[in-house]
Chains A and B, each alone.
Chain A
Amino acid sequence: MAKPTQTNISSLLKPIWGWITKGITPYIILVVYLAISSFLVFNSPRSLPAFLMFVSSVVLLYYLPTKIWYKAVLGVLIIFVIIPIVGVRNIFYLEIIFQICVFAALALGLNILTGFTGLLSFGYIAFYAVGAYLWGFFGGQQMFLLHAIPGSAGPPGKFFLPADTFYLFLFLGFGLAFLVGILLGLPVLRVRGDYLTVVTLGFGEVIRLLATNMDKPLNLTNGPQGISPIQRPTLPEPLLQALRVVLNPIVGHEVTLNEFYNLFFYLLALAIAVVIIIVTVRLDDSKLGRAWIAIREDELAAASMGIPLVTTKLIAFAVAASFAGIMGVIFSASRMFVSPESFIFMQSIGVLTMVILGGLGSIPGVILGAAIVVIINLGILTDLSIYLGELRQSDKVIPIINFAWKNLSSQLDPAKYQRLVFGIILILMMIYRPNGILPAKRRARAIEEHFVELNNNNNEKEAENGAA
């Protein structure tokens, strides 16, 4: 069913694509497009279309065939000049980009587990929680409140560790999540298929419940209220002064410390996401990556080819967990706050949605999936909410049914309906495009073969179902 439409679109696009990619055209297109979109984003605060145009220019940069040095120059320009300026001018954009980086890293981690190794996990966010609570505990004041009832004692006013140990804890978060990944992986690997999914769901909920309830006998997590405040690493004052001299005139206002921190965490998350992307790409092509995919395709065959199942799966668990752990540390520092609310089941499914949307096992696909889901959540849904809010304030009436916008229930707040979006994405993707927007290369080949096969024995399909 899907095949004819695909060929139609691609045959339509082919001449256009050929014209775009010829000679010097892509170079000009990129520069012009980037300039226009940057200008729009710079000039229009909180405009979603402008931001989408800007993001699409990054996607274009990835796909248009230009020399690698050209891409590098434009990339550096975007990362270190355009985004900081645009972001500081309008912190909303920076927040979206920060979250895209964080969730891209998470989605890449889950991708190793679910996309490469075929172990579907519904509790992935637990590893994120491990990292976040690690820095939350040591980077906050919780060590002095161990015997206090949550909410009763005043803040001790001092922190347990100096703020700059944050950098050390990035590695500790990585290591701890790695260990937790192995610890959880060991028992989990005794089960397979959908049972494994349920066990991971169970573990995810256990970690969340522990975070909620470990406020007694020792107040480790401060219960449902969560830990606050949490330290951020210090930024050197001379550097900030120097940056202010440059940035203030461009963005048109005095840059505050919080905005510098947003900038800092954006760069940090981006740097780590880039490292994670490189690691994942290298892993994908390595012996280990091929072993993971072999396990996904056929465990029995993989085992008989001499792949050690348990070790290989455990490494997948540990690597996936460690990605989430390191991002958890960054998350708790950037929010200065951590609570069990951030690690509910829905977050696990959110990350899964990113992976499924982009394409299981496809690295660019997963990153794109993360970007799309974050933009939907923070951008489109929030904007819709604001728009509806404005309509509610106005005196407008829907003409035919004579419905006054004023009477619209204030509960109709699209920003709160993320589950609806996740649900629809998951169902539609599973039915119409189970391999995602950008299927992994190995998968793409398999799909083609599958469609050929499907056309051959379409009639026998119904009878074959039972065998699965």
Chain B
Amino acid sequence: MERIIKSTVLRELLRPLGQIVAFVLGTGVILSILMFLISLIANKSAASLALIERNGIDLFTYTLINLPQVLVDGMALGFVYAAIALGYTMVYGVLEFINFAHSEIFAMGAFIGVELLLALNAAEKLSNITVATAFGWLFVAILAGMAASGITAVLIERIAYRPLRGAERLVPLISAIGVSFFLQDAIRLTESLTSGQFHRIFPTFGNFDERVSVLSFNVASTQMILDIPIKSLVVIVVAILMLVGLNYLVNATKLGKAIRSVAQDRNTASLMGINVNFVISMTFLIGGSLGGAAGVLYALKFTRIDPFVGFMPGIKAFTAAVLGGIGNLTGALLGGIVLGMVENFAGAYLGVFTMGNFGVEYKDLISFLILILVLIFRPSGLLGEQVSQKA
């Protein structure tokens, strides 16, 4: 008996790790091969010639040199998207509606985490500290962000969604967008009242801005360097831990079983003695706190946050959830990784390949196009089953 329990635990911990590795490798390899093919085809084009004139390398070498950096950045971004996407997908799985306010739950976490660190910084707790302490404070900030976001999510559900349960399908959707707008300005109001401006800068402390040199060698007379910023590593590691933890929670605990059963059939679950309202609150708590942690990680990676910071990552994480198959936890993970990678590939190569005519600024557009195309041609996503949609 004990052996079986142990093996379940082990399986539920190892399986998501395996999935993550497989998804990252798969997406990375496929996109890299695609990129190589394109660069080989375009190697004699005007874009390549322009590049040789400017930098002395052709398109193929350029692609090769930048590839490791692009992959690592894509991975970090992808994990942030995946962590947010899990919030969307869990709520969708249980309540079958899109929680538009999730992007502001994410922003809430980012702000609470950053405010905590700023307060510590003002109290001079963050200067001249050891690396371990720095990591400790970052961990505390992430926990604070998770708590704030989780509580916000539960409150939102209680106030704005629960009274509308059982109403027409569009009604909670409109309420959700209302909550989203309300929270944006509520954050902005609080932040600007306390300091006169509504954006916040992640304080510099510890060694998060340093870069670890992983490898460097020469390709065609150009040195190829892969150095990863420590903060990207932190983002990746924390996100993986969270994803594994969530997977364990949903697949191997009693609460997880309750969540899955409520997602499957709310009425029957309540007949089986499951407190449906409690489970839904817990779903919001878990999804929200994941979003909050992602918010702090996002702030760490991109440094500057403002009250509207949630919109773009939110809509992209939703794209990721849809891409993987909404309602499907593994799908959200896959979707996040794919989207993060694709976005970084587009950001890194689009400008060079089109000779600056279509630059980085089109990467948002690409996310939206992916969203639209997936919803139109395969609404069930990459991993989702064919579900009939209730109008």
Residues of chain A at the chain B interface (Cβ within 8 Å): 118, 120, 122, 187-188, 190-195, 197-199, 201-203, 205-206, 209-210, 212-213, 216-217, 299, 345-346, 349, 352, 356, 409-412, 417-420, 422-427, 430-431, 434, 461, 463-468
Whole-angstrom distance between the alpha carbons of A346 and B311 in the complex? 11
Enumerate 17 A-B pairs (CB-CB under 8 Å) in ascending A order: A191-B376, A191-B389, A192-B389, A193-B169, A193-B389, A202-B375, A206-B372, A213-B362, A409-B193, A412-B192, A417-B188, A419-B185, A423-B181, A423-B185, A427-B178, A466-B267, A468-B165
A412-B192, A431-B160 are known contacts. Are A212 and B172 too (CB-CB below 8 A)? no
Contact partner of B368 (CB less than 8 A), chosen from A202, A217, A425, A464, is: A202
Whether B368 contacts A209 by the Cβ 8 Å rule is: yes
Whether B371 contacts A198 by the Cβ 8 Å rule is: yes
**Chain B residues positioned under 8 Å from A345 (CB to CB):** 311
Q: Is B212 an interface residue (CB 8 A)?
A: no
Whether B98 contacts A465 by the Cβ 8 Å rule is: no
Q: Is B63 an interface residue (CB 8 A)?
A: no
Contact partner of A411 (CB less than 8 A), chosen from B171, B181, B193, is: B193
**Chain B residues positioned under 8 Å from A422 (CB to CB):** 178, 181
Whole-angstrom distance between the alpha carbons of A423 and B101 in the complex? 11
**Chain A residues positioned under 8 Å from B3 (CB to CB):** none
Whole-angstrom distance between the alpha carbons of A299 and B389 in the complex? 12
Whether A409 contacts B196 by the Cβ 8 Å rule is: yes
Whether B178 contacts A424 by the Cβ 8 Å rule is: yes
Kindly list the 5 A-B residue pairs having the minimum CB-CB distance in the complex, ordered from nearest: A426-B178, A423-B182, A411-B192, A423-B181, A466-B266
Q: Which of B177, B365, B379 has the most CB of A within 10 A?
A: B177
- Say how far A266's CB is from chain B's closest CB, in angstroms: 29
- Say how far A327's CB is from chain B's closest CB, in angstroms: 23
- Identity of the chain B residue whose Cβ is nearest the Cβ of A467 in the assembled complex: B267
* Chain B: interface residue total (CB-CB under 8 A): 61
Whether B315 contacts A205 by the Cβ 8 Å rule is: yes
Q: Is B174 an interface residue (CB 8 A)?
A: yes
Whether B266 contacts A465 by the Cβ 8 Å rule is: yes
Q: Which of B163, B172, B173 has the most CB of A within 10 A?
A: B173
Main secondary structure of the interface of A (DSSP, over half): helix
- Say how far A313's CB is from chain B's closest CB, in angstroms: 12
- Say how far B316's CB is from chain A's closest CB, in angstroms: 11
- Identity of the chain A residue whose Cβ is nearest the Cβ of B175 in the assembled complex: A430
Main secondary structure of the interface of B (DSSP, over half): helix
Whether B365 contacts A431 by the Cβ 8 Å rule is: no
Whether A192 contacts B368 by the Cβ 8 Å rule is: no
**Chain A residues positioned under 8 Å from B267 (CB to CB):** 463, 466-467
**Chain A residues positioned under 8 Å from B368 (CB to CB):** 202-203, 205-206, 209
- Say how far A251's CB is from chain B's closest CB, in angstroms: 38
Q: Is B361 an interface residue (CB 8 A)?
A: yes
Whole-angstrom distance between the alpha carbons of A197 and B377 in the complex? 16
**Chain A residues positioned under 8 Å from B169 (CB to CB):** 193-194, 468
A216-B357, A431-B163 are known contacts. Are A410 and B174 too (CB-CB below 8 A)? no
- Identity of the chain B residue whose Cβ is nearest the Cβ of A299 in the assembled complex: B391
The contact string, 1 if C-beta is below 8 Å from chain A, for chain B 360-391, is: 01101100110110011101000000000111
Whether B164 contacts A431 by the Cβ 8 Å rule is: yes
Whole-angstrom distance between the alpha carbons of A419 and B104 in the complex? 13
**Chain A residues positioned under 8 Å from B375 (CB to CB):** 191, 195, 198-199, 202
A122-B177, A426-B175, A465-B165 are known contacts. Are A195 and B266 too (CB-CB below 8 A)? no
Q: Is B198 an interface residue (CB 8 A)?
A: yes
Q: Is B179 an interface residue (CB 8 A)?
A: yes
**Chain A residues positioned under 8 Å from B270 (CB to CB):** 463, 466
Whole-angstrom distance between the alpha carbons of A149 and B355 in the complex? 15
Q: Is B180 an interface residue (CB 8 A)?
A: yes
- Say how far B85's CB is from chain A's closest CB, in angstroms: 14
CB within 8 Å of A: which of B133-148?
none
Given A199-B376, A356-B174, A417-B185, 13 new contacts (CB under 8 A):
A193-B390, A202-B371, A209-B362, A213-B358, A346-B181, A352-B177, A411-B196, A419-B181, A423-B182, A424-B178, A426-B181, A466-B276, A468-B165
